[in-house]
């Protein structure tokens, strides 16, 4: 089973994904990392040199490569579910898990990581909070199409593992 972790940047997709994959004994993938390896460019550089449209097409192509893979945990970019019917594709090809987090939680997480996230590095505190609030508001309609929603603010890999196992057992019993 493919497990797609969905949520806003800072919600813990990579950390929880890596740890949950270890517990499930399956490989972990990060779509942004895969795109960077494939293109030899950072996500920020791709946005600047090629534009968002090309980047979003690359995301969709990378995502569909998982049709060839079996069991794995995949952390997807925060915007990936919102384009090219990616959310529909993930729901049809695996278990989608939304790591839901409040704007305040995301703000505190992203503030600590600002230097490592070039897209927000230049934003003031107020600009960052506005960015999070507005972007989360537009993406939530896609995120909420997930088959499983968990509260990222108090989730651990063990809790995520248990929630995923429970959801998979429910799906198998149908």
Domain ranges across the chain: 2-153
Q: Tell me the pLDDT tens digit for each residue of 36-47.
A: 999 999 888 888
Residue 18, helix vs strand vs coil: helix
Bigger pLDDT: 43 or 128?
128
Whether residue 118 has pLDDT greater than 80: no
**What pLDDT was estimated at residue 89?**
98
Architecture of domain 2-153 in CATH? 3-Layer(aba) Sandwich (3.40)
Highest mean pLDDT among 4-18, 41-55, 106-120 belongs to 4-18
| Average pLDDT estimate for 82-108 | 97
pLDDT band at 13 (very low <50, low <70, confident <90, very high): very high
Q: What is the pTM of this model?
A: 0.94
CA distance 138 to 17: 24
pLDDT band at 126 (very low <50, low <70, confident <90, very high): very high
Whether residue 119 has pLDDT greater than 80: no
């Amino acid at each position: 089973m493919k497990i797609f972790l969905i949520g806003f940047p800072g919600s813990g997709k990579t950390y929880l994904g890596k740890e949950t994959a270890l517990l499930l004994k399956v490989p972990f993938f990060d779509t942004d990392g895969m795109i960077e390896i494939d293109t030899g460019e950072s996500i920020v550089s791709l946005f600047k040199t090629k534009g968002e449209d090309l980047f979003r097409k690359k995301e969709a192509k990378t995502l569909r490569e998982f049709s060839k893979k079996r069991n794995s945990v995949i952390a997807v970019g925060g915007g990936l579910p919102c384009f090219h019917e990616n959310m529909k594709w993930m729901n049809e090809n695996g278990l989608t898990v939304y790591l839901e987090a409040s704007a305040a939680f995301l703000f505190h997480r992203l503030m600590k990581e600002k230097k490592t996230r070039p897209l927000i590095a230049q934003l003031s505190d107020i600009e960052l909070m506005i960015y999070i609030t507005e972007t989360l508001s537009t993406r939530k309609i896609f995120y909420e199409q997930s088959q499983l929603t968990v509260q990222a603010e108090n989730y651990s890999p063990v809790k995520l593992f248990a929630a995923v196992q429970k959801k998979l057992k429910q799906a198998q019993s149908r």
